[in-house]
Amino acid sequence: MSLEHKISKEDFYQKPRRTRVVEENDNTKASFTHFLYQEHSDRYKKGAVDYVQELLARKFPQENVSLEVAESALQYYLPQLQKDVPFPEPQPAKFTFIDLFAGIGGFRIAMQNLGGACVFSSEWDKYSQKTYEANFGEIPFGDITQEETKQYIPKQFDILCAGFPCQAFSIAGKRGGFEDTRGTLFFDVAEIIKRHQPKAFFLENVKGLTNHDKGRTLATILHTLREDLGYDVPEPQVFNAKDFGVPQNRERIFIVGFRKDLNVQGFEYPRGCEPQRCIADIIEEQEVSVKYYLSNQYLDTLIKHKARHESKGNGFGYEIVPHESVANAVVCGGMGRERNLIYDHRLTNFSPVTHIKGEVNRQGIRKMTPREWARLQGFPDKFQIVVADAQAYRQFGNSVAVPAIQAMAEQVLRGIWYA
Ligand SMILES: C[S@@+](CC[C@H](N)C(=O)[O-])C[C@H]1O[C@@H](n2cnc3c(N)ncnc32)[C@H](O)[C@@H]1O
């Protein structure tokens, strides 16, 4: 039996025992999955073959595995390797986009809903990559600041999407142009726009960007996009997720831009939709696990914590949000999970509750579940949550409100198509 027939399709997805090669360059596995899910695009073929070669070399250390053998194995297994995923690429696609700082793919769901095909994704967090793979099939490429990663971006695509983390950058004493953002993730975004000249870009960030460094940070970003890169950039606007059909008070700034030659005139921002939704619309239908209910002991700690912070004038605290209202923005880190507590009157017959520290509070006060956070962000229920709760809360807290992104993206597409 030839070498390529001695492996199984499971081998392709197994965690390597010795991950040295993959750790040094895990872009090969990203290439492999991009190759599988993007109609076997030539762009990713070399990386995919390299990945299979590494895999074979690991499995058969005595053999000299040539690239030809690796390619033959890839071709042989190709038809069996592509799995059904909850969010496959739309067929036929109407436009292409790249998903930078992809997280768990909030942008991707919105863009795919509008008919877009994702031709490149990048996200360096391993847990987010795991969630992304479970939902879209692809593992995103890693660190986007690395030139090697940037080399995988296809030359042409229509829209660049990026919910980039905003690092503080100070432009004191500088001109406030492209070069002055060097060392920040915005610089990398700008550089990719400069090199690839997409028709449009769609950037998302926290509302705080508007007044960061007395407004100078945003001014520098806009100056770079307009003057240095030459894009038409309407004045950015802040949107609240609750105006787009999710019960969450989450304000984010959207910055979009169009390549000048498209001559996009009279761009219109989306309008919110009616009616607004409330917590009652998104809470889980079934009784949830006892682990989401707070023990009396923990509740006491929270109450004390809140009192201590409030007496110091700090805003931190949890709130028990009524079913007919909207939630505070879901955020990652710290005590984010406890910000929005809800009453759940279905708390009836928990027995035994031995794994809960302290007695479960009988009022039925509980945290929202990861699925409820997913719904607060507008993720459909078919979205797979494949990581532990702590990671899931972090991922949804970091993500975007999908319906708000989609409404905005629709306007961007109108701009491009009707220009
Ligand atoms: C604000 S979150 C964006 C979330 C995303 N829009 C979503 O829908 O889930 C920013 C993401 O950028 C990722 N990130 C930060 N620096 C990165 C880098 N240098 N390369 C790739 N990803 C990076 C973080 O891990 C994080 O998931």
| Domain parsing of the chain, residue ranges | 3-81, 95-276+400-417, 285-368
Taking the centre of ligand 1 as the mean of its atom positions, its distance from the CA of residue 103, in whole angstroms, is 5
Q: Is the CB of 379 under 6 A from ligand 1?
A: no
**Torsion sign over Cα 211, 212, 216, 219:** negative
The whole-number pLDDT of residue 163 equals: 94
Is the Cβ–Cβ distance between 376 and 246 less than 8 Å? yes
Q: Which atom of ligand 1 is nearest to the CA of 162?
A: 6
Closest CA to 70 of 119, 24, 21, 114: 21
Which residue among the candidates 118, 166, 278, 332 is catalytic per the annotation?
Answer: 166
Give how far Cα 198 sits from Cα of 42, 92, 269, 393, 418, Å: 20, 20, 20, 33, 16
* Binding site membership of 25 for ligand 1 (Cβ less than 6 Å): no
Question: Do 222 and 175 meet the contact criterion of CB atoms below 8 Å apart?
Answer: no
pLDDT of residue 22: 35
Whether 273 is catalytic: no
97 near 160, Cβ under 8 Å?
yes
The amino acid present at 378, given as its one-letter code, is: G
pLDDT for position 30: 93
- Rounded to the nearest angstrom, the distance between the alpha carbon of 400 and the centre of ligand 1 is 11
pLDDT for 352? 43
Residue nearest to atom 13 of ligand 1 (CA): 101
Residues 6 or more apart from 266 whose CB is under 8 A from it? Answer: none
Query: Relative to the CA of 108, which ligand 1 atom is closest?
Result: 8
Query: Measured from the CB, is residue 12 less than 6 Å from ligand 1?
Result: no
Q: How many residues can be counted in the chain?
A: 419
401 close to ligand 1 (CB < 6 Angstrom): no
Which of 232, 227, 233 minimizes the C-alpha distance to 255? 233
Q: Closest Cα to residue 326, out of 339, 335, 313, 336?
A: 339
Which top CATH class is 95-276+400-417?
A: alpha beta
pLDDT value of residue 347:
64
| Nearest residue (CA) to ligand 1, atom 19 | 143
> Could you tell me which residues are beta bridge partners of residue 248?
327
With a 6 Å cutoff on the Cβ, whether 391 touches ligand 1 is no
Across the chain, which has 419 residues, the per-10-residue mean pLDDT values are 68 56 63 85 88 88 88 85 89 96 98 97 95 96 94 96 76 65 86 98 93 87 95 97 96 97 94 88 90 85 79 71 92 80 74 52 83 98 97 95 98 89
Q: Is the CB of 124 under 6 A from ligand 1?
A: yes
SS3 51: helix
Look up residue 301 and give its two tokens.
């700690």
* CA nearest to 248, candidates 321, 304, 186: 321
Is 145's C-beta closer than 6 angstroms to any atom of ligand 1?
A: yes
Measuring CA to CA, which residue among 413, 406, 394, 414 is closest to residue 104? Answer: 394
* CA of 185 relative to ligand 1 center, distance in Å: 10
Phi first, then psi, for residue 319 (nearest 5°) are: -140, 145
Q: Which helix (H) or strand (E) holds 235?
A: none
Nearest Cα residue to atom 27 of ligand 1: 103
- The CA 188 to ligand 1 mean position distance, Å, reads 13
> CA-to-CA distance for 389 and 341, rounded, in angstroms?
16
Spatial neighbors of 43 by CB under 8 A, at least 6 apart, are: 34, 152, 154
Is the distance from CB of 230 to CB of 387 less than 8 angstroms? no
91 Cα–ligand 1 center, Å: 27
> Is the shortest distance between the CB of 125 and ligand 1 below 6 Å?
yes
With the most atoms of ligand 1 within 8 angstroms of its CB, the residue from 104, 120, 124 to mutate is 124
pLDDT the model gives residue 300 = 84
Query: DSSP letter string over 120-143?
Result: EEB---HHHHHHHHHHHSPPPBS-
Q: Is the CB of 128 under 6 A from ligand 1?
A: yes
CB 242 within 8 A of CB 378: no
**Are residues 158 and 200 in contact, defined by beta-carbon separation less than 8 angstroms?**
yes
- Angle, vertex CA 292, rays to CA 347 and CA 131, nearest 5: 135
Q: What's the rounded Cα separation, in Å, for the pair 157 and 201?
A: 11
Question: Measured in angstroms, how far is the CA atom of residue 102 from the centroid of ligand 1?
Answer: 6
Distance 210 CA to ligand 1 centre (A): 20
**pTM for this structure?**
0.90
